[in-house]
Chains A and B, each alone.
Chain A
Amino acid sequence: MDYTNDPVCTVPLALIVNMPELKENPFCGRIVESFSEDGMGNLSFNEFVDMFSVLSEMAPRELKAIYAFKIYDFNVDNYLCKEDLEKTLNRLTKEELTPEEVQLVCEKAIEEADLDGDSKLSYADFENMITRAPDFLSTFHIRI
């Protein structure tokens, strides 16, 4: 790598995902992708720092909420639609649930949190939901 001519180097997704802090996380790929500027998961130093700054204990709830939203937004359209939720759920349960159960859970989740009735979760919906979650702050952080 030519650091001298090109100090703006990036670390590829595959390397970062293998960090012990992220290795076991079902969303590790999404985390890295949502912090990378190119959306492919290549992180420059600044973005890397950014990632751990947001995931640190000190980061405020609303900041975490924004990035959590981005992480769960698999298809990067700024809405959590049903496919996003299905992917989330399948990653959380290692696809142990039957398709009907997945359907039920996703429908229920959207029904619970969707405030504007467009059957997908906008950021406002998500934020409203996540700011009331008791465990969000305690689970959405990484210690390094």
Chain B
Amino acid sequence: MPRKRDTASNDDVDIEIDIESSDSDDGATQRRTNRRQGAGRGGAKGRGRGKKPASEEEDEDDEDEAPRGRRGANKKKPTKKRGGGDDDDDDSEDEAPKRKRTGAAKKKRGGKAQDSDEEDSDVGKGKKGKKGVGKKGGKEEEDSKGKKGDAKGKDKGKDKGKDKGKDKGKDKDNDKDKKKKKKKDDSSSDSNSDSEEEESMSEGEMARLMEEVEEKKKLIATIRNKPWRMKRRLVHLKEAQEFVDKFEGALGKGKGRKWYAYKVMMKKKWIKFQRDFENFRTACIPWERKIKEVESHFGSSVASYFIFLRWMYGMNLVLFGFTFGLVVIPEVLMGLPYGSIARKTVPRADQDTAQDYSVLMDFNGYCKYSVLFYGYYNNQRTIGLLKFRLPLSYLMVGIGTFGYSLMVVIRTMAKNADVGGGDGDEGEFTFAWKMFTSWDYLIGNSETADNKYASITTSFKESIVDEQENQKDENIHLRRFLRVLANVMITCSLGGSGYLIYFVVKRSQEFANRDDLGWYEKNELEIIMSLLGLVCPPLFETIAELEDYHPRIALKWQLGRIFALFLGNLYTFLFALFDEVNTKLEEEESIKNATIWAMKEYYANYTRTFNDSDSTPPPMPPADIIRGPCWETGVGVEFVKLTVSDIQVSYLTILIGDFARAVIVRFLNYCWCWDLEAGFPSYGEFDISGNVLGLVFNQGMIWMGAFYAPGLVGINVLRLLSSMYYQCWAVMATNVPHERVFKASKSNNFYMGLLLLILFLSLLPVVYTIMTLPPSFDCGPFSGKQKMFDVIMETIDLDLPAFLGTLFSYAANPGLIIPAVLLMVLAIYYLNSVSEAYQNANMELKKKMQMARDEEKNRRNNTDSTNQVMKDLEDLLPNRSLMPAAPPPDPGKKPEQDPRQTKTKPGSAGRGVNLQRDVALASPNPNARGPVSQPPGPRGAGPMPGPGPGRGRGRGRGPPPR
């Protein structure tokens, strides 16, 4: 509450001024400042302030003119004071403002006569007490407390005085003079007595005062935590501050306020900084708003796909950075330019068509002999000035891609498992929390507000679906039977499609050797595969209806089944690819010999033609050199083609399947015989499982192909980026939310699991080719080597010191590797058992929490006590509703609480603190709070106010009906 703090510090300053002026100037000035200050603040405060000089006067009066009746003095003083307050710097009296003020004050008092009287009296008393102590030591305090009644009387007197108006003015003039005199005496004596007083104060009094000051300080610190109306808070705050001001000095304690103010300011600044930083960080998360928007309309399940997509984009961006930073760009900058050697040149036979659009779209021609593919890289050990070891870097990036991906996927999975844990159940208060904390009070933008409404509605729907799932009582046997049946059917169809794929692949191998084939035979494999991909997922979905799972679980099953189906796809693709590679390897052997022969022949021809064996022949033009098939580039081209066609297909599917459908449904609906929107075609739902699997398999392609086509990573980054925008648009524009909007599990670990599986599957062929197949002899960074990993050996031998080489050879020793593997297995076993133990402990703790909650419930049912928070709450009720029910709530309440605030020393501050702690620890146990929070004295005195009946009814009913 910064504003409050500000006023408080202002107060401090003012008060300091007050003291100074009282010392130096005459009393009238002091009073004036006080008055003005009071007027500046709220009415209540003003009154509190205004009273102070009066009570002060009273004390003086007591000292000076003992014989004079106290009542009389009271009556006169308020008028006097008022005059002092109203008159401007010159002493000439102005009547009008005075009347205004008094009138206002009166009106206010008229509103809540009793209440304000009480307050005033308390205030007066408190101030009086302070003043008294200030002047005459602690003993006076008791005395002044006793004067409470008088203060009240004085109030009445004031009222009367106000009515009078003009007479008062005259009175006032006299009084003022008197007062001035008095003040002068007083101020002089004050300064003297201040020093005396400290000496005269006894130890006990000091301690007591100190305690009281501490208490007041606590009150000041915690006043913003009190559920009081501002008026009441201001009164208490002022009172406490004056008290502290008065006595901190007396006790020889430093003010320390500046430091405190500084600390508060710094704290505020720090909070603001943190907030800004948080905002900045949130702003840095890409597409957060887009995803939130989708989430608010389609639920967290659809949003989980987009979050997965974003995560994938991030990971691919890193891979892209590695690949381009360490392989592609060095090659472009420092490697030999295009056309310099054979592997970087389009062969002469292809040159005519190398720039045709259709050829380029097939990634042949110039594309094939570009930096995008493996074959373009040279096997120079170092390139450029920097002696960049490109072949080594190429291999390392290829392996590092997998290493990094594995690490990231596994780490994300672990983190998700940490965060999410269980699916959906987030504890005891799902609905209550949703209801009371889901609206964000910060929202001030109507668009955001609309989104928020949508998202709250969606999240309620999600929870309702969960709840209905829990409540469903069902015929368990029938359900089980249906589920088993569904699984059998799906297994059958999976097996059938698997066999179909196998059969078709076999047939295609047979077809490969024949050339009398029709169009169908040529494309049989592709047709079958896409038919399967088209028919099976909806089939699975239909069968899954039988199972009647919760949609979230159903999604997982669906994902798993389609994944199994698509594995067949992958299998055929890889199978075809390895076939191709093997034929190319064979081909290569023969071409290798042919090239050598051709080279020799070329030189022989040259020598013979020009007939001078001395001069070296000019090198063969690179386009003419006979070259091998370069199977790595072939594989790379296959993957790139696959990826690009995948992009095309998925984008077209969205455009036709969703957008065109939506357009047709929307506009043909005006002239159609049935309701298109509600009836058959309707709008499409977002296909979560298909999209997720598409993404996962696409990533598998990238992982497999990245080694043979470094450019693939760049293509993939572009694809993910565009599909983020495209799909966000498509889903918002053309799709409708699912019939049962369901909540995705917090961790999308299932997606990650699929991804991990694909990663392993794609790791295998790549590692197999790297480790076993010989690289092409005339293309790529590893040409001329027996195996690709020979690059590492070469580096160890040539670039590293000798002892490292021996070290590596030791490390590669089976005698070392086997124990290392054993050790790892042991570690896995150990960690596994530890995690199981933790899980058990977790379960135990959960049970205990549940038990504790039940216990608390029971205990609460049997307690009947009113705690302070309840009373304060009652106090805050609007008067309108309180008035008829309990007419005298205020007189009952105020004396009961206020005296405690001001008088009972250990009680009040202690109570504030206790209360706070109780609430903070969230253990609102009325029994425990009872003895501490209720000082016996004052509570008994006042009549029990409002809270009695209502609360009693609720609490004291005994055991719950349940």
Contacts and interface: CB of A to CB of B under 8 A. Distances in A.
Interface of A: 4-8, 20-21, 23-27, 33-34, 36-40, 45-47, 49-50, 52-53, 55-63, 65-70, 72, 76-79, 85, 88-89, 92-94, 96-97, 101, 104-105, 108-109, 112-113, 115-119, 122-124, 126-136, 139-143
B273 to A, nearest CB: 13
B547 interface: no
Contacts of B229: 37, 46-47, 50
20 contacts: A8-B107, A24-B449, A40-B878, A46-B231, A53-B230, A62-B915, A69-B873, A77-B881, A88-B435, A93-B460, A104-B464, A108-B430, A108-B467, A109-B432, A112-B431, A116-B960, A118-B957, A131-B922, A139-B438, A142-B442
B613 interface: no
Contacts of B940: none
Interface stretch (B316-324, B630-638, B674-682, B853-861): B853-861
Contacts of A63: 224-227
A124 B789 CA distance: 70
Contacts of A46: 42, 44, 229-231, 234
Given A34-B878, A40-B878, A117-B960, 6 more contacts: A5-B103, A62-B227, A76-B881, A78-B950, A117-B959, A124-B926
Contacts of B3: 49, 52-53
A29 B460 CA distance: 23
Interface in B1-36: 1-4
Interface of B: 1-4, 42-44, 100, 103-104, 107-108, 111, 224-227, 229-231, 234, 268, 271, 427-446, 448-449, 453, 456-457, 460-461, 463-464, 467-468, 856-857, 860-861, 869-870, 872-874, 876-881, 915-916, 919-920, 922, 924, 926, 950-951, 954-955, 957, 959-962
A58 B1 contact: yes
Contacts of A136: 436-437
Nearest to A137: B437
B881 A25 contact: no
A24 B955 contact: no
B944 to A, nearest CB: 16
Contacts of B435: 85, 88-89, 92, 105, 109
B577 to A, nearest CB: 51
B437 A133 contact: yes
A102 B255 CA distance: 57
A97 B237 CA distance: 47
A92 B439 contact: yes
Nearest to A140: B441
A105 B877 CA distance: 28
Contacts of A36: 878
A35 to B, nearest CB: 9
A101 B870 CA distance: 32
Nearest to A130: B436
A33 B448 CA distance: 25
Contact of A8 (B104, B431, B437, B460): B104
Contacts of B877: 39, 76, 78
Contact of A101 (B434, B460, B950): B460
A18 to B, nearest CB: 12
A93 B453 CA distance: 5
B414 to A, nearest CB: 22
Contacts of A104: 464, 467-468
Contact of B453 (A6, A77, A94, A112): A94
A108 B446 CA distance: 30
A37 B878 contact: yes
B227 to A, nearest CB: 5
B860 A21 contact: no
A6 to B, nearest CB: 6
A26 B442 CA distance: 12
B442 A128 contact: no
B107 A67 contact: no
A26 B439 contact: yes
B431 A123 contact: no
A42 B851 CA distance: 46
Best-surrounded residue of A38, A55, A116 (most CB of chain B within 10 A)? A116
Given A46-B230, A117-B961, A97 B460 contact: yes
A55 B440 CA distance: 12
A78 B456 CA distance: 26
A25 B100 CA distance: 40
B4 A53 contact: yes
A60 B224 contact: yes
Contact of A58 (B2, B234, B861): B2
A29 to B, nearest CB: 14
Given A36-B878, A108-B431, A131-B919, A118 B954 contact: yes
Contacts of B268: 58
Contacts of B922: 128, 131-132
Contacts of B44: 46
Contact of B878 (A58, A62, A76, A143): A76
